[in-house]
Structures are given as structure tokens and as C-alpha cells.
Amino acid sequence: MNFIEPLLNWYRKNARALPWRKTRDAYRIWISEIMLQQTRVEAVKFYYARFLAACPDVYALAAIDDDALNKLWEGLGYYTRARNLKKTAQVVVSEFDGVLPKSDETLLTLPGIGAYTAGAVASIAYNIPVPAVDGNVLRVMARLFDDPAPIDDAHVKQRVRDTLLLHMPKDCPGAFNQAMMELGATVCVPNGAPHCDVCPVSAFCLSKQNGTQDALPVKSAKKPRRIEEKTVFVLTKNGCPVVCQRPDRGLLASLFQLPDTAGRLSPEQMAAFVGDRGGHITGEIRIYDRRHIFTHVEWRMRVFSAEASFSVLPDGWQYLTENHALPTAYRICLDEPEAAGGAT
């Protein structure tokens, strides 16, 4: 693959100075790669610094309290990532003397570490020649080879991985993987608008030669998201809302939530929901709508918000404190319509 040298030269001159690029420490690289999977680079910078201040090494992460971990992750979403970080840290402490394994195959056996993360950690921290194939790399490869195969197909991903494994430079696999990702993130960008005029590998790009780059990559048709309607209760005491813990399985498992129930209740049914739990509404009632989109499901929420008093809070209910992590899907329900610019 003749494009490798121009790509690496370009990367050496143009790589963004990102905090996790200043280190070869496997722990730090692993944390950054997990955070970056679903979150924008700019947002990750803040979370990365705060996370490392609280958990500077794998021992601190293995021992962190679950609520403190969720609080560190609050706003990043996909909380399973945080839970798996802690699980993996515990395995690394108990089975690998506190050092992330130096083999991508062993890394792959750890909770939350898939082929991409194993490749990134192994190549960047340990210089092991193994590809790290994320969405950026799949897009670049589809365009470079003018390949119309759907990039979300597992066989296509494996083919791309095999091709890269065969050709990647064995002396600098970490730089090569990062260069591919950087090209995808900053030059060969998605949504039909690659910056081919400044691309270091344009001379080797088949889709540019064929004028097909705007139509690539191809993705399979997605299943439509499931819509779930629910009613969410913001029941406050001196402005502080009641929360309870979610079941330990499924979406947002074990995290805190505002009390809710399936379906869109009428105002009478909402008042009955509170009354049935021993509550008395003591302030103005506000009802508004909120919407939150997860990967496979969309919540359409009717929010009932009011000051309420309880002689005794129902089992499992408590008032929100600054130590509780409240997922964004519920946190947006705390914003009243005026503050949020109307129902969403």
C-alpha cells in the first residue's frame, strides 16, 4: 500500500495535540479509547482529565465506589463502558499484576474490550502490529479502495482488518493506526464532504479517481428505532427532586432515575400516581414533554413536575444529591420549558 509513507509524514506534521497522545501508558490510552468510542474529542478532553485525577491508575479504578464512578461518567452516556472499565481494572489487578496485557488476544478477553480497543491499546502502548479499525478507518478504506461493500457488515470489517494487518508498517503500528483515524476525523470526513484537495493520500485514492467519494462509505439500511412513551415525575422538596435506582439489568442499569411509568398518563392519572405513593402536591403543577434518543430506542416523555411532600418516601426513593449521577435522559426532564426553550 503505497499511501503509507505519505500518510505517516502527514500525520507527523498535522496530528492534533490531544492529551492522550502525550503518553504511551497503556492504562491512559485504554481510558481514552473507551471514552472516545461514543463521544466527541472536545468533550472527552474534560472527562479524561477529571477521570485520571480521580483514578490515576488501575488500582484506583478497581477500588472506586460505583456511585463515584457513575458520577465521573455522568453526561458521557453508555454507562456500560464505565462499569466494564472497573470490571477490567479488577481483573488486571487480580490476574495481571496491575498491568494491561501486552497481547491483543488477551486484551480481547477483558470486559468491554473489543477488537478496536484491543488493537488501539496493543499498537499505541505496546507497538504490536495489529489494526485498530473504527468508523473513521472503515470510511477511509472504503474510499481509498472505492469499495461499495457496507462497512457495518462484520465480514467487511474483518476484510478491512485483514488487509490492514497484511500491509501496516511493523515498526510503527501505533502511529499508522492513529494516522488512519486522524485522516478520517479531519480530512476524509463523513457525510459526503471529504477534503480531497488537502488529502495526503489523494494520489492513491481510487474513489477520488472515479469521482465516487461522496457516495462512500455505504451502510446497510438501519432498523427504525423503537419508540417508548413514558411519564416521568419531577417531585421536588425545596427544588430537590426524588430519585430511585433502576433495575440492575437493561438500559441504564443500576443508575439513578426520576420515578417514571410506562405510557402517557392524563393529569388525573399523574396526580393519582403521586397520591398512591403517599405524596401531596404542594406547589404549581407543570406538565411538558421531553425526548431522548438512545441507539435503539427513543423515549418520548411526558413530564409531571411539582413540589410535593411525603410523610415517608416510598421504598427505594431518596432525594437527589450532588453525589448521584443522573443520566441525561432524566436530567433533561429537570429543565422546565422556559429554561429549555420549549418542549422537545
Residues that bind ligand SF4 (CB under 6 A): 140, 143-144, 187-188, 194-196, 199, 201-202, 205, 207-208, 213
Query: For residue 297, what is its C-alpha cell?
Result: 430506542
How many Å is the Cα radius of gyration of the chain?
24
Residues 6+ apart with CB under 8 A from 90: 62
Asked whether the beta carbons of 58 and 27 are under 8 A apart, the reply is: yes
DSSP assignments along 42-53, one per residue: HHHHHHHHHHHH
**Among residues 44 and 179, whose Cβ is nearest to ligand SF4?**
179
Q: Which three-class secondary structure state does DSSP give residue 54?
A: helix
In this structure, are strands 286-293 and 260-262 parallel, antiparallel, or unpaired? Answer: unpaired
> Residue 60: what are its φ and ψ, rounded to 5°?
-65, -40
Q: What distance in Å separates the CA atoms of residue 331 and residue 326, rounded to the nearest whole number?
A: 6
Place of cell 488501539: 120
Place of cell 416510598: 314
- Among the listed residues 5, 33, 74, 338, the single catalytic one is 33
**Among residues 117 and 178, whose Cβ is nearest to ligand SF4?**
178
Q: Does residue 182 have an active-site annotation?
A: no
Question: Where in the sequence numbering do the catalytic residues fall?
Answer: 33
